[in-house]
Chains A and B, each alone.
Chain A
Amino acid sequence: MKKHLLNITSNIEIARNIFEMKLTGPGVGSMTTPGQFLHVSVGNQSSKLLRRPLSICDVDQERKEVTLLYRAQGEGTKQLSHKSAEEVVDVLGPLGNGFELAENDHNRKALLIGGGIGVPPLYYLGKHLKKKGIEVTFILGYQSIEDSFYIEKFKDFGETIVTTVDGSLGIKGFVTDAMKNVVEDEPVIYSVGPAIMLKAVEERAIGLRGYLSLEERMGCGIGACFACVCPTETRESGYVKICSDGPVFKMGEVVL
């Protein structure tokens, strides 16, 4: 595992408070698995100490460029949003275990479900799955049209269904409201978002196989500080560490 200094190539607001940051450097070469994250230093390490775990949204290996999407919500991510091209960002990673594709997943359809700032890692995943010839459907949930992003880009990889809480775009409601018809094909589920959404997705996908990627406030990001644990009934220890055992887990593996 490594620390990298990456150069910002662009950092722009693509939806309300949602920023797309592109970074380049030799370290990008190791970022090959969808679902992994970078632990990003937001800038002034003496006042904002902790890194922010940001999932990898896309990687262009030819240009050695990684894309991160983040919501500028707290002080730290706001600081990050003020950085401009050519500035250097200190990142650890790639960290965590991404989405693994089991052999018997290959001839199945895939249903990728993301909510809010859980949407970005599905982009790199969708790209991978499509390359493997897997038929991909996306369900992307946002608060409203102003908060939505990347919808057109997702369409490059498969059918893209959008839900918004206020109904300003796509289906009014939550991602689970759009799941009814698509689960009949018995797809493999891949879902990223807040725990409450993942729990609802899991309940709608009973009997299906799938993978969930969890979010949590993190300390070290590498498994040492025990800040981001989640209970499980499938391991002797009774817990998993989201940063280093996850963030991706098999559906049913963790207690949400």
Chain B
Amino acid sequence: MSRLHVSLPGLNMKNPILPASGCFGFGKEYAKWYDLSVLGGITIKAATLEGRFGNPTPRVAETESGMLNAIGLQNPGVMKILENEIPALEPFNIPILANIAGSTEEEYIEVTRQISSSPQVSAVELNISCPNVKEGGIQFGTHYESAADLTRKVKAVSEKPVYVKLSPNVSNIVEMAQAVEEAGADGLSMINTLVGMKLDWRTGNPILANKTGGLSGPAIKPVAIRMIYEVSQKVSLPIIGMGGVSTAEDVLEMMSAGASAVAVGTANFVNPYVCPEIIEQLPKLLDEIGVENISEMTGRSTKQWKTPLSSR
């Protein structure tokens, strides 16, 4: 078995790298740039029950070491994703993590039921943290009880393991993680974007048509590291870490904080080849620090201390 191999519920990955949801479409655009079979897995763009057009443009704005987006969950709807998008990934033979979203509990449940029944889908990622839609999304992700309740209901119908994607826009992410763990989640994805805003100083108007958007990119990596570090000590669920990762060094840092696998998002826009380049670089970095298997990296930061450093 390869030294980069990692194993998480439903996700048997030859390396810990997968593109993050929303930053990679359904894969076919990037398949024009490289062979996707090198990836550890792929997270596909959020599916809702019906097709959604999303928000008006402009939908992106650049910020220091990051970017704001307010796409608004544009997607063709779960049926078309099952018919057209997921089958197109078959030749690459990599685990598929299917991100699901909705406006109501019923929608989340129905999308999960449909998408998790696809033999090609390895696991689902419950998106309760999208900051850019008026209904659903983050509403479920900022109240412990509704998050737990939704997790329980989605778990009940899902044929595949369920990862809950947590929002950083909460006062206590540890309690949120504990709530969804207790509700039966199989894993966590963290973090989604931080809500932010950018104005045109000349006019005073927001750049984004949606006014606010989700901040991603290197600017948020320290937040992600801190949250993964805290949560990983308080829950026993595996964590797919994400938030500003753009280099192999970032991957190992995030694994040290407690992640078992790492998703790369915004960096794909900067460099379409970033995922394969990171994967190629990882063995060299492991050699440099004398680590044989990458899975040993997970949670190193806390293993070195007798009591958790976290103050929470």
Contact = CB atoms under 8 A, between A and B. Distances in A.
Contacts of B71: 225-227
Interface in A201-245: 216-231, 237-239, 244
B65 A225 contact: no
Contacts of A219: 59-60, 67, 69, 269
Given A48-B62, A49-B217, A219-B69, A224 B57 contact: no
B66 interface: yes
B14 to A, nearest CB: 23
Contacts of B23: 220, 224-225
B217 A230 contact: no
A222 B29 contact: yes
The B interface is mostly helix, strand or loop, or mixed, namely loop
Interface stretch (B140-148, B270-278, B282-290): B270-278
Interface residues of A, number: 32
A51 B269 contact: yes
B22 A225 contact: yes
Chain B: interface size category: 35 or more
Interface in A45-98: 45-51, 76, 92
A225 B269 contact: yes
Nearest to A75: B62
B57 A220 contact: no
Contacts of B57: 216-217, 227-230
A51 B271 CA distance: 9
Interface string B42-75: 0001000001011001111110111101010010
B24 A224 contact: yes
A237 B76 contact: yes
B37 interface: no
Contacts of B64: 47
B116 interface: no
A223 B25 contact: yes
Interface of A: 1, 3, 41, 45-51, 76, 92, 216-231, 237-239, 244
14 contacts: A3-B272, A47-B64, A49-B266, A76-B62, A219-B67, A220-B23, A222-B272, A223-B25, A224-B268, A225-B23, A225-B25, A226-B25, A227-B69, A244-B29
Given A47-B64, A224-B29, 17 more contacts: A1-B32, A3-B273, A48-B62, A49-B66, A51-B269, A92-B272, A216-B57, A216-B58, A220-B23, A225-B22, A226-B54, A227-B58, A227-B69, A229-B59, A229-B74, A237-B76, A239-B74
Interface of B: 22-25, 29-30, 32-33, 45, 51, 53-54, 57-62, 64-67, 69, 71, 74, 76, 217-218, 266, 268-273
